[in-house]
Structure 1
Amino acid sequence: MRIWRDLAAIPAAERGAAIAIGNMDGVHLGHRALIDRARAIAAERGCPAAALTFEPHPRLLFQPDAAPFLLYGPEEKLALLAATGLDATYVQSFDRALSLLPAAEFVAEILVRKFGVSHVVVGEDFHFGHKRGGDVALLRELGGHHGFGVTTLAPVPAPDGGVCSSSRIRSLLAEGRPAEAASLLDRYWTLQGVVERGDQIGRTIGYPTANFRLGKVLHPARGIYAVEAQIDGHGPWHAGAANFGIRPTVADRGDLMEVHLLDFTGDLYGRRLSVRLVDYVRPEKKFDGLDALQAQIALDCRVVREMLAAARPRGSAAGAS
């Protein structure tokens, strides 16, 4: 998949694409439906199939102090988009100037002048332009004027009766329901970080952990998780038990992901760890001391093994093999 960030430099061969438009945070089943339709239309027309996404996410412009909410960082999102079979992704910079562009000018300046778009695929609740002033009815009208087609898709239903959306997935993860989130992503939600050196308390009680911070991505519910972890983006996925939270029994160092790999020995400091959340074991809890904590971790690890043995296989994380 070719990635275009300098949208003024798109060559003639990349113009005239069938384009799925959206923020694409999560590249979940709803996004995949848009992309699949764009690819099908592109195959019929003999043109490229592309996605148009926006960086940074518009919420970061309008609510710069908002709590972390992104499901994936920009590079992870692009890796997931590449796995869908798209020919190209256009990364449109979202800034104040773009946010002030009226809907009709967004179509004329971005979709037509920059991309020479032949067809657009969007969700039926799609809005665009200044203050979200444009809707799918206006998009169809403008498409007729400029000579491109428009296809709208209904939301993909979720197993619980709702719809598949990034906001729904965020809510499920915030509620400690990663298995349900995985059903909407069609993969286990995966976090990545570089392992940092900690105070090594886990090592003293027989449960060494690889620790990293989540940065600007969503913080899931605090607690214990059954996880699988991969080292440096390749190789096997190792079974593990992870705690996300503030470690109330020991020193509070702020929210931290601590991962104990069940059947692994070796030094992980400075290495990049990909951790997919398979299931939720229990909330974080403060214990009377390290002996009580050690006993509970032993119980948690037994539960984790059972959960992982029973878990439904799902796809790998972005960028992992």
Structure 2
Amino acid sequence: MERIFSGAVPRHLRGGVVALGNFDGFHRGHQAVVGHALDRARAEGRPALVATFDPHPAALFRPDLPPFALTTTPQKLDLFEAFGIDAAVVIAFDRALAAHSAEAFVGDQLAAQIGAGVVVSGADFTFGVRRSGDTAALARIGAGHGIAADVVAAVGDAGGIVSSSRIRDHLRAADPAAAAALLTRPFTIRGVVEHGAKLGRTLGFPTANLALGGYLRPAYGVYAVRVRLDDGSVIDGVANLGIRPMIDPPLEVLEVNLFDWSGDLYGRTIEVELDVFLRPEWKLDGLDALTRQIAADCVAARAALASVKPTRSAFLPDGSSVRAISGCPS
């Protein structure tokens, strides 16, 4: 998949079918939009593209918001590639772009820069200064540039419309399984392994530590996890996500103990999927109590993961299509 961060889309990708949106999390609803674009592109012999924004508009207009991302931009692009998309266009979202009228956005971005032949969006998509454009405006303005517009209805289930907000609510409520059902895969944090306090090594449970960055903060606590290394290995483990109340000063971090594995992970990029919430963070009575609790958490995590079917990830070189990712064997 070609990844385009600036400049006009090259000639061989122009006239394509473009799925347009933020796509944070790339959940079932987003997959319906991108899937429609991909299906139409293949049926008509056109390139299939996704156009997304970086940063998320909310991050620009509300810098005071707590971190809320379900995926980083590199993760989203990997997911698009695993889905079968030919190219992804990352549109830099800044105040200059936010000041574009709906007409200017279609003319400058969709027509001139991307050269879209068809644009596919969700029913709630808005664009232009003060969200002045909606799907009806996209169809009307697009027609003047020779761009067709398709709208994909929202995807729902018994709990309502599938949305990033619902997924965030599930994660904050310590229900990663419910979030995974909407995402079609576990919520996964990708990051570079950093040096930590090395207390875990002293206690006999060495950990790989990741900063949480711009990711949404799920419920603090201990999780059964699967870890994907940059060499394709998939390893079960247990993780503490939170502020480590036993350590002074408190520091927010994701600490992961990998089962039956040893080696040097410092500086390497890994993915940690949160599969099962085991318990909240506790402040225990000393290091002996902490050691016993970690051992018990390891036992609980192994038992929990025994009933959770592994999934493939777009992070892996052979990542399978997200269109069939749920329940795929590792």
Shorter-chain TM-score bucket reads: over 0.9
Identity %: 46
**Separation (CA, whole Å) in 2 of partners of 1:197 and 1:148:** 51
Unaligned runs of 5+ in 2: 319-330
Structure 1 runs (4+) greater than 6 angstroms displaced:
none
**Separation (CA, whole Å) in 1 of partners of 2:162 and 2:201:** 41
**Separation (CA, whole Å) in 2 of partners of 1:122 and 1:69:** 22
State TM-score, norm by structure 1: 0.93
* 268 and 2 in structure 1: CA distance in 2 versus 1, 3 angstrom threshold: closer
May I ask how many residue pairs the two structures share in their alignment? 318
**Separation (CA, whole Å) in 1 of partners of 2:305 and 2:87:** 36
Matches within 5 A, 1:255-294: 255-294=252-291
Deviation at 1:317, TM superposition (A): 4.9
* 2 and 312 in structure 1: CA distance in 2 versus 1, 3 angstrom threshold: same
| Match 1:222 to one of 213, 220, 223 | 220
Matches within 5 A, 1:87-102: 87-102=86-101
* 270 and 116 in structure 1: CA distance in 2 versus 1, 3 angstrom threshold: closer
| Match 1:236 to one of 219, 233, 237 | 233
Is the Cα–Cα contact under 8 Å of residues 128 and 135 in structure 1 kept in the other structure? Answer: yes
Q: Which moved more, 1:73-82 or 1:280-289?
A: 73-82
Matches within 5 A, 1:126-275: 126-158=125-157, 160-231=158-229, 233-275=230-272
Matched position secondary structure for 1:106: helix
**Separation (CA, whole Å) in 2 of partners of 1:247 and 1:48:** 48
Residue 103 of structure 1: aligned partner: 102
Matched position secondary structure for 2:109: helix
- Deviation sequence 1:30-53 (CA, Å, 0-9, x none): 111111111111122221111111
Matched position secondary structure for 1:268: coil
Task: Output the aligned Cα RMSD.
Answer: 1.7
**Which amino acid in structure 2 is aligned with residue 59 of structure 1?**
A
- Deviation sequence 1:126-165 (CA, Å, 0-9, x none): 111111111112222223333322211111124x422222
Is the Cα–Cα contact under 8 Å of residues 187 and 317 in structure 1 kept in the other structure? Answer: no
**Separation (CA, whole Å) in 2 of partners of 1:235 and 1:108:** 43
Deviation at 1:210, TM superposition (A): 1.6
Deviation at 1:319, TM superposition (A): 4.7
**Which amino acid in structure 2 is aligned with residue 196 of structure 1?**
E
**Separation (CA, whole Å) in 2 of partners of 1:145 and 1:166:** 33
Matched position secondary structure for 2:149: strand
Is the Cα–Cα contact under 8 Å of residues 232 and 316 in structure 2 kept in the other structure? Answer: no
Is the Cα–Cα contact under 8 Å of residues 75 and 315 in structure 2 kept in the other structure? Answer: yes
Is the Cα–Cα contact under 8 Å of residues 82 and 314 in structure 2 kept in the other structure? Answer: no
Residue 118 of structure 1: aligned partner: 117
Deviation at 1:273, TM superposition (A): 2.5
State TM-score, norm by structure 2: 0.91
